[in-house]
Amino acid sequence: MTKEDKRHRIHKRIRKKINGTTGIPRLVVYRSNKEIYCQLVDDLKGHTLLAASSRDKGFTFSGGNKVEQAKAVGKAIADKAKSANVDQVIFDRGGYLYHGRIKALAEGAREGGLQF
């Protein structure tokens, strides 16, 4: 069993317990070696409401490490959510440990005004 298989098993276990709606969407995080991605998902309709990543064209981040970059992405998704009248979400860490870049993204989203 690879690390990725183990993460998928953990993510399935998490997804049994949490579910996003239109009013309170699920904030999903995906982390690659270089980038970090997050999106707000309405599971009832099966749609992505908003998305932000470190690869977005409008995203500007100068200097710093990947943890600081993740925090900036968290603030970016919070700004987009505020403009779409979403202020509360359910955080889905995607099977990753709540540590490092995942934690920084969550803290950035909280600083941006999202509640979870």
Contact present, 29 and 21 (Cβ < 8 Å): no
What angle do the packed helices 101-111 and 66-83 form, to 10 degrees? 40
Q: What domains are defined for the chain?
A: 3-111 (3.30.420.100)
When pLDDT is cut at 50, 70 and 90, the band that residue 59 belongs to is confident
Q: How many CA atoms lie within 13 A of 9 on its CB side?
A: 6
* C-alpha atoms less than 13 angstroms from C-alpha of 16 in its C-beta half-sphere: 5
Task: Label residue 95 left, alpha or beta by phi (over 0 means left) and psi (-120 to 50 means alpha).
Answer: left
pLDDT tens profile 6-49: 999 999 999 999 999 989 999 999 999 999 999 999 999 999 99
Asked whether the beta carbons of 104 and 76 are under 8 A apart, the reply is no
Q: What is the pLDDT of residue 12?
A: 95
**What's the mean per-residue pLDDT of the chain?**
94
**What gap in Å lies between CA 74 and CA 78, rounded to an integer?**
6
Tokens (6 digits) for 37: 């991605």
pLDDT confidence of residue 58 = 80
In this predicted structure, the answer to whether residue 62 has a pLDDT above a threshold of 80 is: no
Model-level pTM? 0.92
Place 73 in a pLDDT band, splitting at 50, 70 and 90: very high
- Which pLDDT score is estimated for 32? 95
